[in-house]
A and B are shown apart, each in its own frame.
Chain A
Amino acid sequence: MSDSTFARRAATHLVLILVTMAVLYPLVLVLKIAFGPGQGFSAGLSPIPDTVSLDNFRAVVSETTPDGVWLFGRQLLNSAVIAISTTVVGILLACTAGYAFSRFDFPGRETGLMTFLVSQMFPGVMMMIPLYLILEKLGLLNAPMGLILVYATTSIPFCVWMLKGYFDTIPRELEESAIMDGASRFTIFWRIILPLSAPAVAVTALFCFMTAWNEFVLAFTFMDDPLAFTLPVAVQGYVGEKSIEWGRFAAASVLVSVPVMALFFALQKHLVGGLTAGAVKG
């Protein structure tokens, strides 16, 4: 290895290390605060904890209402129900819609796709007031169903595009072959297209799940009963007007991220395949 290539490599690695540290530092700091004993920053900026305590986690998990309802459990359940339902509804509709957009020629196909695309260009917050009014009319404020509807409808356009893009890469001859084999449209969709699209479906499902699981602004707006809160709203509650409980805030944040991280790891294999989908035909 010549000096100049060594220098170049060293420089590359230096930059990468710096960027990695910049990315990881806040996370490490959150972990430190979460596992720390107090509620403040008093520990300073060093990422290395002096004492490790589970007090904050205990406090967050055992939170109850004055009349004895287990608040954390209830909010975890809300989040889970909403995120899973959003994913199921979103994927179900996005798969079928994506397939139709990919394979069928029907009036309004182009317009539909364009509408979906344009709808993605507006910030979600813009929809807050109209959505609030709709949910109020439907009586779905403070109800999980309301958030499921909102999340599913806002994530479907993106999912449809994503899945349509993947379906487009599946050769039509496979379907024609299945037609000759005697398969109906639905059989083709169910037994040929979907199994082949598993990576794309996994990525899309994860996207749906994360959107619903992490979303804060809409949930914060539509829910005012602590029993109806999702976890992100609950987390924000620790940073109140009167007292700021950084320790519990951090602990709750860590708890909220665990399921998403677990999902990421579980789907890792598919994710890598899904993200590079279409790049290489095979």
Chain B
Amino acid sequence: MKRYDGDVLAVDSLDLEIQSGELVVLVGPSGCGKSTTLRMIAGLEHITDGDLHIGDRRVNDVHPRDRDIAMVFQSYALYPHMTVRENMAFGLVLRKTPRDEIDRRVQEAAQTLGLDDLLARKPRALSGGQRQRVAMGRALVRQPQVFLFDEPLSNLDAKLRGQMRLEIARLHRQLGATMIYVTHDQVEAMTLADRIAILDQGRLQQFGSPMEVYKAPANRFVASFIGTPSMNMIEGALKVEGDAGWFEGDSVRIELPKVELEALRQGLGEQRELTLGVRPSSLSIVNDNGELNGSVEHVERMGAETFAHVSCGSGTVICRFGGDHPVALGDSLSLGLDWAEVHFFDKAGDRLSRGETL
């Protein structure tokens, strides 16, 4: 799928195959083309080039109303002059669904979402969370083949967001419907998705299960986008002397295990520039001769966990400890790497595979 808007390429050669009943999350920073992709699926944006299939049907030129899709908008887009009941029934009324069938479905959806008591209210008399529910109810009553969610939770406060996230997950289990969900929040992506599609600058970066993209990020972008705090990235180069090899960065010199070295030599070819990536949780304190040494610059205590910012050479690495860990400002730490969790990226940002698959 592609789209040209004037000369701007918003979404470039996106190729996704979504299984029936799957919940796929499109995630990426703002302007990455995720919403545009969703709107193309909905039929609100024209597809410049490429095919969109729903089931066995090519729907590029099918009107949105005939695509059997329902969409939940970021702003909810409830009709302000209609009651909750009318809002939910609108799509069915337009489709000339019989009266009692409409009533039954609205009642059913209202029950599922806990809206029974609010059916006679106008949207302006509802709270944010309730409006959100009505927006979902409006999609629900349509019983569509595919549900589209466009950042549905971004207007809610943190607590409510967590609640609605669970509710959407529950709905998905209950309905077994195909859902495509757009968000910029990687927590939503990780927790909701069967599979995540990570987009950046209109291009698909990786498409895989949450653990796949977390454990085996396809490239540097995915590696730093998924996970909080971000994966530590250390710039450097490969040095080889005889059988031994080092990763050498600015005042960092790390001897590479045999397996790693072999993989890197194969992956890099003549190239030598490298980035080493390691998650804060894959660093641990060792007595001495750890791979990374430095002093603690900053400590963030989150309660259940503690993040220490350790200056190593010209950069800083973040390191995750337990909540009660005694680490303190100014401590000198020697940090060991968990080699199973270390990633290397070449100059282009692609991850150099160690050959072991997950």
- Tell which of A171, A176, A187 touches B94, judged by Cβ atoms closer than 8 Å: A187
Q: Is B95 interfacial (CB 8 A cutoff)? A: yes
Which residues of B sit under 8 angstroms from A143, Cβ to Cβ? Answer: none
The A interface is mostly helix, strand or loop, or mixed, namely helix
Return the CB mask of A181-221 against B: 1 if under 8 Å, else 0: 11100010000100110000000000000000000000000
With an 8 Å Cβ cutoff, the count of chain B residues facing the other chain is 23
Q: Is A178 interfacial (CB 8 A cutoff)? A: yes
Instruction: Give the complex CA separation of A228 and B64 in angstroms.
Output: 54
Write the nearest CB–CB distance from A68 to chain B, whole angstroms.
Answer: 52
Write the nearest CB–CB distance from B102 to chain A, whole angstroms.
Answer: 13
Question: A182 with B75: in contact, given A196-B81, A282-B124 (CB under 8 Å)?
Answer: no
Q: State whether A196 touches B77 (Cβ < 8 A).
A: no
Q: State whether B73 touches A173 (Cβ < 8 A).
A: yes
Q: State whether B77 touches A177 (Cβ < 8 A).
A: yes
Q: State whether B65 touches A181 (Cβ < 8 A).
A: yes
Question: A176 with B65: in contact, given A181-B90, A182-B94, A182-B95 (CB under 8 Å)?
Answer: no
With an 8 Å Cβ cutoff, the count of chain A residues facing the other chain is 16
Instruction: Give the complex CA separation of A192 and B74 in angstroms.
Output: 19
Instruction: Give the complex CA separation of A176 and B40 in angstroms.
Output: 12
The residue on B at minimum CB distance from A177 is B77
Q: Is A174 interfacial (CB 8 A cutoff)? A: yes
Q: State whether A179 touches B65 (Cβ < 8 A).
A: yes
- Give the contacts of A139-179 with B (CB-CB under 8 A): 171, 173-174, 176-179
Which residues of B sit under 8 angstroms from A196, Cβ to Cβ? Answer: 80-81
Q: Is A262 interfacial (CB 8 A cutoff)? A: no
Q: Is B199 interfacial (CB 8 A cutoff)? A: no
Q: Is A180 interfacial (CB 8 A cutoff)? A: yes
Return 25 A-B CB contacts under 8 Å, by A number. A171-B75, A171-B77, A173-B74, A173-B75, A174-B77, A176-B44, A176-B71, A177-B71, A177-B73, A177-B77, A177-B78, A177-B138, A178-B79, A179-B65, A180-B42, A180-B64, A180-B65, A180-B91, A181-B90, A181-B94, A181-B142, A182-B91, A182-B95, A196-B80, A196-B81
Binding site for B on A (CB under 8 A): 171, 173-174, 176-183, 187, 192, 195-196, 282
